Every structure is written in C-alpha cells, then in structure tokens.
Amino acid sequence: MIRSLAFNLFFYVFTLLVAMVGIVLVPIPTPVVLRGLLHWWARAVVWGMRWIGGMKIEIRGRANIPARGPALLANKHHSESDGIILAAEIRGIAFVAMQELFRYPLIGAILYRLQMIRVDTCGGGRERANLAQFAKRAYDGGRHIAIYPEGNLMAPGERERYRSGIYYLYRDLDLPVTPVATSLGLLWNRRDWRKKAGRCAIEFLPSIETGLDKHAFMQRLEEAIETASDRLIAEFSGRPYTPSQLVLRSQGQAGIGQPISVPRAAL
C-alpha cells in the first residue's frame, strides 16, 4: 500500500510538472522537441514503476517491433501503463486516442501538438474518414501508429468486440500489423488508484502480413492478441490458463459490464 501511494504521488506530480513544461513547448513550430519530452517522461515513469512501485515489466519480442516507421501496432489495453511502455520503447509514436482526451486542459493542447490521432470510438463513416486522414499524416511522417482495437480499457481476462478501424488502416496504408499482448493489468488495472508490486510482461508478437480480407484479418488479430494476453496473465498470476470473456463496455450497448460466458474460440 505504501509503495502504491508513493508511486501515485510520484506519477501524478511528475506528470503535472512535465505537462506544464510541455505547454511551454507547444508554440515551437516543430513537434520533435515535444515528442522527445514524451519519450523522456515515459522512460522516467517506467523507472518509477520499477523502483518506486515495485512493478517489474518484462518486454518480450522486441525483435518484432519494426525497426523504422511507418508501422502499425494493435495493442491490448489494460491501463494507462501500456501506452506509457510503448512511448518509452518507441520514440515519436502516434497513438490513436479518444477525441474526449483532446478536450482536457493542458493535455489536449499537447496531444494536438504531438499530432496524435483522434477518433470517436462510436465509429461510423465520418470517423473512419477522420481516422484515415490523421493516420495518413503519421504515415507520411514515418511514425509508428498504435491503436487499441477494442476501444476500451479492459481488465485482465476480459475482451471487447474488436472494432474494424484497425482493418481499414491495415488495408489503406498497406502495412503489416504487429499485435501487442500484455498482462500489465495484473499490477495496474484500468484506472485503479491502487497499484500492485510484482511482475508482468508486454509482448510484441510476429506481424500479420498484408493482403488478408477483413474477416480473416480481424479473426487472426483477435486470436493472436487474446491468446497471448491470456497466456501472460496465467503465467504471471499463477492461475490456470483461461480464455478471456466478452464484456461490453461500449456506450449504448446492452449488457455493459456483464461477461458473456461464451468461449473465445466459439466466436
């Protein structure tokens, strides 16, 4: 409990101070300096996770991270920490982020200047066009693009329906996709205030080649991410391997927060 409190104090105070520095850097014509600050901040937070919070994060499959962009990564989303790990590992990464984040004081202006990719998780043709437009800017800049296909923070052992936005990026940008699995939620689960000391991992999996149709791609992507995440959760929790259950957290869907007890392989 003490380590969790100490880390939270470090994380929120440090993040606020860095955000204030970031606001000062926003007017600079190039976003390169601000991207460097983001990378440095993320690496410092990862240091704090280990040495203050006792969270030891193992990075697996670094060889599967494309050496240079443009590149596409599709990530399991357990908490703020998985994005922090990616930002620490990949300088200049462009995240696909909910448009609501761009309305926050300080953070919104910084996200705009970093040229992150804003999207409405409710989807639709208009938002698909917006996603394509902003992603093309990141593509032209040779950046790695990270997207969370479920569009929601999910607890360990849960999954949402995978949105098709990742497929259209994969098809239109003609890029392979690197799936990313994680068990980070065992230590830093969703937006939980309390963090847990211990071990977990994030794993970069072999890329999915270009040219697949929508059904084949989406099925392969979900199976890769969920199977590997479930394996990591079992390994680091000491519990038997259990396939994730579907939990609908999306706004406007029936059954929000209620697990649907259908095995993943049957869907």
Digit-coded pLDDT (tens) for 128-162? 777 777 888 899 999 999 999 998 889 999 999 99
Distance CA 50, CA 199 (A): 9
pLDDT top residue among 263 and 14: 14
Q: Indicate the number of domains in the chain.
A: 1
Say which residue the tokens 């032209």 belong to. Answer: 140
Residue 254 has pLDDT above 50, yes or no: no
Cite the beta strand spans of 89-184 per DSSP E: 94-98, 117-119, 144-147, 158-159, 177-182
Q: How far apart are the first and last CA of the chain?
A: 40
What are the DSSP E strand ranges found in the chain? Answer: 55-60, 71-75, 94-98, 117-119, 144-147, 158-159, 177-182, 198-204, 245-247, 259-260
Cα separation, 265 vs 124, in Å, equals 28
pLDDT at residue number 133: 78
Q: Is pLDDT of 104 > 90?
A: no
pLDDT in tens, 55-100: 999 999 999 999 988 999 999 999 889 999 999 999 999 998 776 6
**pLDDT of 109 strictly over 60:** yes
The whole-chain average pLDDT of the chain stands at: 87
Confidence of residue 256 (pLDDT cuts 50, 70, 90): very low
Tabulate helix, strand, coil % of the chain (nearest 5). Answer: 45, 20, 35
Residue in this structure with the two tokens 């200047």, named with its chain if needed = 113
Cα-based torsion angle of the residue sequence 30, 149, 186, 16 in order, rounded to the nearest 10 degrees? 30
pLDDT reported for residue 139: 92
How does pLDDT run across 158-191, given as a tens digit for each residue?
Answer: 999 999 889 999 999 999 999 999 999 999 998 7
pTM: 0.87
Look at residue 123 in the predicted model and tell me its pLDDT. 54
Q: What is the dihedral of CA 232, 242, 162, 87, to 10 degrees?
A: -20
pLDDT in tens, 211-252: 999 999 999 999 999 999 999 999 999 999 999 999 887 654
In this predicted structure, the answer to whether residue 125 has a pLDDT above a threshold of 70 is no
Q: How many percent of the chain have pLDDT more than 90?
A: 67
In angstroms, rounded to a whole number, what is the distance separating the alpha carbons of residues 65 and 80? Answer: 20
Secondary structure (3-state) at 121: coil
Candidates 229, 208, 221; CA nearest to 66 is: 208
pLDDT greater than 70 at residue 263: no
The alpha-helical segments, DSSP class H, found in 119-164 are 125-140
207: pLDDT strictly greater than 70: yes
3-46 pLDDT tens trace:
999 999 999 999 999 999 999 999 998 899 999 999 999 999 99
More confident residue, 110 or 195: 195
Q: Are strands 177-182 and 198-204 parallel, antiparallel or unpaired?
A: antiparallel
CATH number of the domain enclosing 249: 3.40.1130
Q: Which domain holds residue 208?
A: 2-266
pLDDT at residue 261, as a whole number: 40
Residue 225 and residue 182 in contact, taking contact as beta carbons nearer than 8 Å: no
202-to-127, 139, 192 alpha-carbon distances in Å: 29, 24, 19
